[in-house]
Structure 1
């Protein structure tokens, strides 16, 4: 027994050593695993921390910086109405229709108007007006306008009498940025409550209770979808959807899901729920308009229904919310049945949550989709005008700032543009038939004289043509349009020239540059023998007749007497900023200008001598309403008050007795002023005319520069007359300056006289430059017989 025990004792030390070795080995591996795990955990923690810091910086940079490249919104004229002003109610109603207002019997909602013989009631939509002298409410407002004898006699805003009010401008265009994302930024407080409630009901019921991600929400959505047998509720929170749309791509990977979850938590910590919800309603993708994506509910309302968010009914709201699930799958144009089923499902859920009454639910669920007939937004309808807007905008703001959702307010008149396009379309066809011409083209510009705002532009005979803009880019010889600048330069020298000053009208020969046809290659001056248009010579004529009847020879003699340099200075003073080749032919309009340049040249003549820059843009504001730029009138007087009155008088006579005298019967003796212009071989037909409010510049010609068969009076003047009749003539009124007096002049001598003689005529003249002679010219009587006269030297 003893021996056996000893043998057991001899084996135990070995077993014990092996066991200790195993235990020690296990502890070593456990320690190693623990250390490695700790290191990995620390590494993962720091990696996750660094990654979170990176994502946090990315979130802040995007969310607190420029979140979106938002199209610049270009608006037309903000029309102000004031008691005492003239107003045509039919014209106003037409403008409202063009701006999407509907005529009704009784006005009950924004976007409607009602009209009677002497009153119009407008429920103006809510609109954030820029800061102006007239303070307007941004909320939807009822306006009442009473008219008597063609003038406004009463104005009311929500039944409160006022002296002036403003009308909502029309949205001309949205200048979409390069990323092709189009949206209308909408503030949370401007979003209909029903839309917000329905959105949260369908997409994220626990939005105001979770912290960015919601596991319970995912389980609840899964359960509801199984019960319904279809997808009726999403699993991602609105915050996750916002993160995916704003920061991430559409790839389906685990990495993206991790990023989405982390960023959702970050964004929830940093920003309030209201901020996130506002970002979502502006960021969510809701459709595709060809190359441009439709983002946000504001633009989606325009895209699907052609209206604003505030004017949506419950069925339309349901369809918009339905689009969140899949704008392509539920496209109402391509898949109307599928879209209606989804809309009706949303309506049923709205009803179950008591968002709708029984009656409203029945009515809406049985209603059609009521989307726009054509999914295509209208192309930019006024490309010629918008080209001017873009040119000015690029001069005023850098391109980066233009993508911040700025609002650009212009002087565009929708009504004037419509009249202008109608005139060009109708009259060019008529002229082509009458004069057996083809391929006539036109350009017209309408400018408000007092404000220098360009109201309308046509750059092609085809309305809405987006190609070559002749109003801006077609530079053609201006012909006799140059003459008022020459005569004005003379009238400013009132001690030397007045309307009765006699100008020679005899054949003349001048040198006009270099004769390049000299076969010997010598530099010889080319002889120039200009003629009057009718080929006649009158020996001498009063200065005013030279302008009123557009006589070439008297004009050349006057220009040469003044000096070509002085004539060029006068042209530059009116706003023409290009170099002028100094040669006598410039006096007959051998200068190429665009209609826009001519419009600027005549604006100071029509504006009593004040040179304001013709422009389209009045105000530019940020998306928060801050004024970024505003047009400031220069009030620079470049023509003396006296000379401005005299040239205006002469241009009025042009329309009464001169080359534009057909206006007396075309406009039924309404008072306007203007000047005709015709280039060599009847290649260009010009007319610039104005009443008391509008300056209208008109050009007719052919792109291949072939003759048109039209003079200024037989071509361009006809278009001016047709447009101004449609627009409504505002008869010219001009107060005579104290320094101007109506004076008698002898026609044969040009002398001012005190007595009314047989051959005298009265003209307005600057008194300080007139020396009145007593008595009349007594002609010497030739007492010779006819026989003596016949054979005398």
Structure 2
């Protein structure tokens, strides 16, 4: 008997040691992670803010769309932030304000008057406003693997009626118990016994918080015991208000695609597009009621069930003397008042994909998903909207069967900032991002690199140099000769260099490339921004290799910027959780190519649009808009490309098939249509051709490349590097003519 008691004593001591050790483990788990979990926030990605000032290029419909994207509510007269009243071109906007880096844009009521295409005036209380910025739209977030999203709120900023309603429904003795409720557990145990399975938990708010933070959702005795122990430990270390605040920020209240809605503050925005402190009683009661079953009582899917649940909560609030019967009756008669603004968050997957890739160059994944960073980007909702419309409209015309795909990327001409991006024909589909990852031969889109390499050698080449567009055959290591052909299967004989590019002659380009040397072409592509593998083969001169639309946008951005290599970027600034600047992404650029040579190339690319393979763009673009660009078509019409720029935007578009099959399209009949449909609606500024020092204009006979007089046959003005102009002359004297070529019109002389 004594041995038995001794054994039991030892077993008891072992149990106590193990239990104590386990409690120490649970305690350490809570104390080391609770504060971090309270403040664990995903990064939020914002669009550029819309700037409003007198003279800004903006139509009334564009401003209305921007405000719709931002979730501003249409009213007859504004009384609260986030409201707008419109009367044709007159907008009364009560802005929300925003904390920009180093500057607070206050919430204020402004009057914006617009004409057909421009802002006429911005005023506040009768006084003019020089410049103001609307709050930027949140276009997405970078969430942890479990997809949780939340907005943090302090307890003092939560309406009293909301947290009191929470007590009435979820935990009436919250401020009295020690983390668990014996009566609640007993009631749940009885329900489970009667039903023969686990149907109720009897959890307090503290227990629910512990379960959300630390435990799995499984319903077992062991998990329940852990929940109770950890709830007690949590209450020993943190006061009730801290626990309640954490619960208000953590509770799960629904799902939007892969994004989980956590916390009352985010739910208020999601369901009602209203700040938490501005919610009405009927809205507060609905959110509290949804805790029981966010899917079951989702007001967007089950409005009647949601109303019934809301009214149950209102009755409990009356019973607990949180509100009066009269207030409950008024709230119970209210409609749901749900947010009807378009859901734009996370609906631009291709652009957000690029943002994530660029962020990961400087930030760890755990920082992006938990540090509450604010990512201010160059994303332009108006340009994105137009790019999506153009993509859908043109692709539906080209291919009603849905077999063709498309991708486009839009950058700001002056900064290299990516303003809009479409990764596929299904513009909101978060699948394969063709703008970044579809790597295809570029066809004639690569030809400008060949011509630019030539124009950097003014002692050998100029725009008026005569090159041969004749058949050629080049031996290859495989033993099979490379024998390119022109698209029209015709050899055009001797042609001027600029015309060979404008008309996209393959034979002339291949001969020029071989004369320069493939290594010179590769070197130029490197300087223009192509960083990955480039095949050093003769076919490179006609676009061999694998390139994405992003690669081509990088290359053409260097050409558009006068030979300065400007890395394409999406991010302007990263803010920490306090709104302070964490990283600022400055504009960077390096001179890579001769400025004079680039301007000669730009001349040829403008001629592509006026007289060459890109002239069809002017069916959609105003003739007054000066553009530069290049078509691209690959073998058997597998890929249709177009890249080009105006004075404000650069766009690259691609059309093709995922299986790399033939499309039956050329660059002109496919991608150019997407490009021109977009640029015709979005671009506001002509390309300004301001010749740098070292260039001089001469008049050339385009039939032979000789100097000639203005008004003479085949006369065309073009620039030359000093000393590179032709030596021969037609001896035709200048003649008066009412006809001016496009280059003369560009300068107005």
Same topology, TM > 0.5: yes
Say whether residues 1:120 and 2:96 are aligned partners.
no
TM-score by length of 2: 0.82
The farther-off stretch of 665-674 and 158-167 is 158-167
Say whether residues 1:296 and 2:263 are aligned partners.
yes
Shift of residue 571 of structure 1? 0.8
Q: Between Structure 1 and Structure 2, whose CA radius of gyration is higher?
A: 1
Q: How many residues align?
A: 719
SS of residue in 1 equivalent to 2:361? helix
Shift of residue 336 of structure 1? 6.1
Shift of residue 296 of structure 1? 1.8
Task: Summarize the alignment of residues 363-442 of structure 1 with structure 2, pairs less than 5 Å apart.
Answer: 363-370=330-337, 380-404=346-370, 405-432=372-399, 439-442=403-406
The correspondence for 1:617, drawn from 542, 561, 571, is 571
State the match for 2:452 in structure 1: 488
Contact 2:272 2:339 (C-alpha < 8 Å) held by counterparts = yes
State the match for 2:198 in structure 1: none
Q: Distance in 1 between matches of 2:116 and 2:343?
A: 41
SS of residue in 1 equivalent to 2:152? coil
State the match for 1:64 in structure 2: 35
Say whether residues 1:666 and 2:620 are aligned partners.
yes
Q: Relative to 1, partners in 2 of residues 1:113 and 1:58: Cα closer, same or farther, differing over 3 Å?
A: same
State the match for 1:11 in structure 2: none
Q: Distance in 2 between matches of 1:251 and 1:460?
A: 40
The correspondence for 1:765, drawn from 720, 725, 732, is 720
SS of residue in 2 equivalent to 1:699? strand
Contact 2:558 2:566 (C-alpha < 8 Å) held by counterparts = yes
Shift of residue 709 of structure 1? 3.0
Contact 2:249 2:263 (C-alpha < 8 Å) held by counterparts = yes
Q: Distance in 2 between matches of 1:291 and 1:754?
A: 68
Q: Distance in 2 between matches of 1:304 and 1:149?
A: 35
Q: CA offsets, 1:633-656, max 9 Å, x none?
A: 212222333233332232222211
Q: Distance in 1 between matches of 2:97 and 2:136?
A: 11
SS of residue in 2 equivalent to 1:322? helix
Structure 1 residues without counterparts, runs of 5 or longer: 1-28, 222-233, 517-523, 780-793
Shift of residue 317 of structure 1? 0.5
Q: Distance in 2 between matches of 1:250 and 1:697?
A: 49
Say whether residues 1:105 and 2:67 are aligned partners.
no
Q: Distance in 2 between matches of 1:550 and 1:103?
A: 52
Q: Distance in 1 between matches of 2:613 and 2:219?
A: 76
Q: Distance in 2 between matches of 1:745 and 1:734?
A: 19
Q: Relative to 1, partners in 2 of residues 1:400 and 1:566: Cα closer, same or farther, differing over 3 Å?
A: same
Q: Relative to 1, partners in 2 of residues 1:703 and 1:286: Cα closer, same or farther, differing over 3 Å?
A: closer
Say whether residues 1:598 and 2:552 are aligned partners.
yes
Q: Relative to 1, partners in 2 of residues 1:142 and 1:737: Cα closer, same or farther, differing over 3 Å?
A: same
Q: CA offsets, 1:416-453, max 9 Å, x none?
A: 233223222222332348xxx98333222222222322
SS of residue in 2 equivalent to 1:422? helix
Q: Distance in 2 between matches of 1:583 and 1:329?
A: 63
Q: Relative to 1, partners in 2 of residues 1:557 and 1:373: Cα closer, same or farther, differing over 3 Å?
A: closer
Q: Relative to 1, partners in 2 of residues 1:258 and 1:702: Cα closer, same or farther, differing over 3 Å?
A: closer
Task: Summarize the alignment of residues 225-304 of structure 1 with structure 2, pairs less than 5 Å apart.
Answer: 238-248=205-215, 263-264=230-231, 266-268=233-235, 270-287=237-254, 294-302=261-269, 304=271
The farther-off stretch of 276-285 and 740-749 is 740-749
Say whether residues 1:727 and 2:682 are aligned partners.
yes
SS of residue in 2 equivalent to 1:546? helix
State the match for 1:9 in structure 2: none
Say whether residues 1:508 and 2:462 are aligned partners.
no
Shift of residue 401 of structure 1? 1.9
The correspondence for 1:464, drawn from 428, 452, 466, is 428
The correspondence for 1:711, drawn from 638, 660, 666, is 666
Q: Distance in 2 between matches of 1:424 and 1:290?
A: 24
Q: Relative to 1, partners in 2 of residues 1:158 and 1:448: Cα closer, same or farther, differing over 3 Å?
A: farther
Shift of residue 286 of structure 1? 3.5
The correspondence for 1:309, drawn from 273, 276, 280, is 276
Q: CA offsets, 1:31-80, max 9 Å, x none?
A: xx9x9999999999988876654443222111133457644433333333
Q: CA offsets, 1:343-387, max 9 Å, x none?
A: 22433455678876776543321234455799x989953333333
Say whether residues 1:136 and 2:104 are aligned partners.
yes
Contact 1:281 1:296 (C-alpha < 8 Å) held by counterparts = yes
Shift of residue 197 of structure 1? 4.3
State the match for 1:96 in structure 2: 67
Q: Relative to 1, partners in 2 of residues 1:156 and 1:217: Cα closer, same or farther, differing over 3 Å?
A: farther
Q: Relative to 1, partners in 2 of residues 1:632 and 1:193: Cα closer, same or farther, differing over 3 Å?
A: farther
Say whether residues 1:651 and 2:590 are aligned partners.
no
Q: Distance in 2 between matches of 1:185 and 1:704?
A: 46
Q: Distance in 2 between matches of 1:247 and 1:532?
A: 66
Contact 1:510 1:584 (C-alpha < 8 Å) held by counterparts = no
Contact 1:754 1:772 (C-alpha < 8 Å) held by counterparts = no
Q: Distance in 1 between matches of 2:399 and 2:385?
A: 22
SS of residue in 2 equivalent to 1:676? strand
Task: Summarize the alignment of residues 752-791 of structure 1 with structure 2, pairs less than 5 Å apart.
Answer: 761-767=716-722, 769-770=723-724, 776=729
Q: Distance in 2 between matches of 1:289 and 1:547?
A: 50
State the match for 2:747 in structure 1: none
Contact 2:467 2:497 (C-alpha < 8 Å) held by counterparts = no
SS of residue in 2 equivalent to 1:513? coil
**Root-mean-square deviation (CA), in Å?**
4.4
Contact 1:752 1:770 (C-alpha < 8 Å) held by counterparts = no
Structure 2 residues without counterparts, runs of 5 or longer: 189-200, 733-749
Say whether residues 1:678 and 2:665 are aligned partners.
no
The farther-off stretch of 627-636 and 329-338 is 329-338
Q: Distance in 2 between matches of 1:475 and 1:249?
A: 43
Say whether residues 1:73 and 2:44 are aligned partners.
yes
Contact 2:94 2:109 (C-alpha < 8 Å) held by counterparts = yes
SS of residue in 1 equivalent to 2:608? helix
Q: Relative to 1, partners in 2 of residues 1:578 and 1:362: Cα closer, same or farther, differing over 3 Å?
A: same
Q: Relative to 1, partners in 2 of residues 1:113 and 1:205: Cα closer, same or farther, differing over 3 Å?
A: same
Q: Distance in 2 between matches of 1:382 and 1:336?
A: 28
Say whether residues 1:556 and 2:504 are aligned partners.
no
The farther-off stretch of 545-554 and 116-125 is 116-125
Q: CA offsets, 1:153-209, max 9 Å, x none?
A: 543568775433222333333444333544343344554454234334555567667
The farther-off stretch of 572-581 and 323-332 is 323-332
SS of residue in 1 equivalent to 2:466? strand
Say whether residues 1:691 and 2:646 are aligned partners.
yes
Say whether residues 1:542 and 2:499 are aligned partners.
no
The farther-off stretch of 376-385 and 670-679 is 376-385
Q: Relative to 1, partners in 2 of residues 1:189 and 1:84: Cα closer, same or farther, differing over 3 Å?
A: farther
Q: Distance in 1 between matches of 2:685 and 2:68?
A: 24
Say whether residues 1:569 and 2:537 are aligned partners.
no
Q: Relative to 1, partners in 2 of residues 1:633 and 1:213: Cα closer, same or farther, differing over 3 Å?
A: same
Q: Relative to 1, partners in 2 of residues 1:503 and 1:380: Cα closer, same or farther, differing over 3 Å?
A: same
Q: CA offsets, 1:399-423, max 9 Å, x none?
A: 2222204443333333323322322
Shift of residue 492 of structure 1? 2.3
Contact 2:113 2:122 (C-alpha < 8 Å) held by counterparts = yes
Q: Distance in 1 between matches of 2:275 and 2:113?
A: 28
State the match for 2:744 in structure 1: none
Contact 2:707 2:729 (C-alpha < 8 Å) held by counterparts = no
The farther-off stretch of 37-46 and 749-758 is 37-46
Contact 1:740 1:764 (C-alpha < 8 Å) held by counterparts = yes
Q: Relative to 1, partners in 2 of residues 1:740 and 1:527: Cα closer, same or farther, differing over 3 Å?
A: closer
The correspondence for 2:153, drawn from 162, 177, 186, is 186
Shift of residue 297 of structure 1? 1.5
